[in-house]
């Protein structure tokens, strides 16, 4: 079987544009609104966003937080930040290319740190959490979310099943392995503790709806706007259109041929940095 885990964090080529056009409104915007509101209640003066992607949370933070609050948005992939900068924000923010495992910031630099659907991609989660803890001020808060299991996210589950039929000998497993592969509260708490967070984390299940005008939209979003595209093209570069159409057909059979509406579900984690 083909294992693309080394490339699960690679968002290059046309992926950033497709990601932002299709995937952001499909699944990310409801949780961006939620996270930004949580950060706004903290009354932080200096906020860091890790794994900002194309800036869906960044844009909400720029709207929700007072102009006096400094916002730094970082991501491992410069092409994602480039796309975020093209879209822009309602007020200036600082964009920084940064690896979550080696953040280029001084100790205790930020009052609050936020990360939307990025922790699942960290190859060494305790190390990434240790870096987060290092740059977080005592008394500050780290808020992040991760997707719940594949079975609680309708479109992603349907896409995974459809692609298994296209590639029965070597099914693409990116969605199950990475985006939906880090949802065990016990593992999350253990990794946070290993990263130096002494306080107990609060973990909340938050459900929402994923809606699109047609089944074609989520098919393109998942097959062409995520690293799943690399898995498909590694198996057969000529089958990206066939795979997208197969996912579209599966979604249409389950959710209808017009507008589609499916369940999405995530875990929102909040943990504080102990005062010294």
pLDDT level of residue 275 (50, 70, 90 thresholds): low
Domain 5-272 is found in CATH 1.10.1740.10: no
13-60 pLDDT, tens digit each: 567 888 889 999 999 999 999 999 999 999 899 999 999 999 999 999
Cα–Cα distances in Å, from 265 out to 13, 153, 154, 241? Answer: 28, 6, 9, 28
Total length of the chain: 276
pLDDT level of residue 276 (50, 70, 90 thresholds): low
Angle at 235 between CA 229 and CA 241, to 5 degrees: 50
218-266 pLDDT, tens digit each: 999 999 998 899 999 999 999 999 999 999 999 999 999 899 999 999 9
Report which of 81, 232, 99 is spatially closest to residue 170, judged by C-alpha positions.
232
Say what the pLDDT of residue 23 is.
Answer: 92
Q: What gap in Å lies between CA 191 and CA 171, rounded to an integer?
A: 29
Say what the pLDDT of residue 189 is.
Answer: 98
Say what the pLDDT of residue 17 is.
Answer: 85
pLDDT level of residue 130 (50, 70, 90 thresholds): very high
190-201 pLDDT, tens digit each: 999 999 999 999
Mean pLDDT for all residues in the chain: 93
Q: What gap in Å lies between CA 205 and CA 227, rounded to an integer?
A: 25
pLDDT level of residue 88 (50, 70, 90 thresholds): very high
Domain residue ranges of the chain, discontinuous segments joined by +: 5-272
For the chain, report the end-to-end CA distance as a whole number of angstroms.
49
Q: Is the pLDDT of residue 3 over 60?
A: no
- Neighbouring CB atoms inside 10 A of 110's CB total 25
200-209 pLDDT, tens digit each: 999 999 999 9
Lowest mean pLDDT among 12-21, 71-80, 145-154: 12-21
């Amino acid at each position: 079987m083909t294992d693309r885990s080394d490339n699960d964090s690679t968002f290059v080529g046309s992926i950033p544009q497709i990601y932002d056009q299709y995937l952001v409104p499909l699944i990310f915007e409801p949780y961006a609104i939620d996270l930004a509101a949580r950060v706004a209640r903290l009354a932080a003066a200096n906020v860091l966003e890790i794994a900002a992607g194309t800036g869906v949370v960044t844009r909400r933070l720029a709207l929700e937080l007072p102009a006096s609050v400094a916002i730094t948005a970082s991501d491992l992939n410069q092409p994602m930040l480039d796309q975020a900068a093209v879209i822009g924000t309602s007020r200036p923010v600082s964009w920084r290319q940064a690896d979550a495992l080696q953040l280029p910031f001084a100790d205790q630099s930020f009052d609050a740190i936020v990360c939307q659907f990025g922790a699942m991609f960290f190859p060494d989660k305790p190390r990434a959490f240790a870096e987060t803890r290092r740059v977080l001020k005592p008394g500050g808060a780290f808020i992040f979310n991760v997707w719940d299991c594949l079975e609680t996210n309708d479109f992603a589950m349907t896409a995974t099943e459809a692609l298994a039929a296209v590639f029965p000998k070597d099914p693409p497993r990116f969605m199950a392995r990475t985006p939906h592969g880090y949802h065990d509260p016990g593992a999350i708490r253990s990794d946070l503790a290993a990263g130096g967070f002494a306080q107990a984390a609060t973990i909340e299940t938050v459900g929402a709806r994923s809606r699109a005008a047609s089944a074609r939209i989520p098919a393109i979003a998942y097959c062409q706007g995520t690293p799943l595209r690399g898995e498909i093209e590694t198996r057969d570069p000529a089958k990206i259109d066939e795979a997208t159409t197969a996912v579209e057909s599966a979604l249409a059979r389950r959710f209808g041929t017009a507008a589609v509406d499916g369940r999405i579900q995530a875990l929102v984690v909040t943990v504080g940095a102990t005062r010294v």
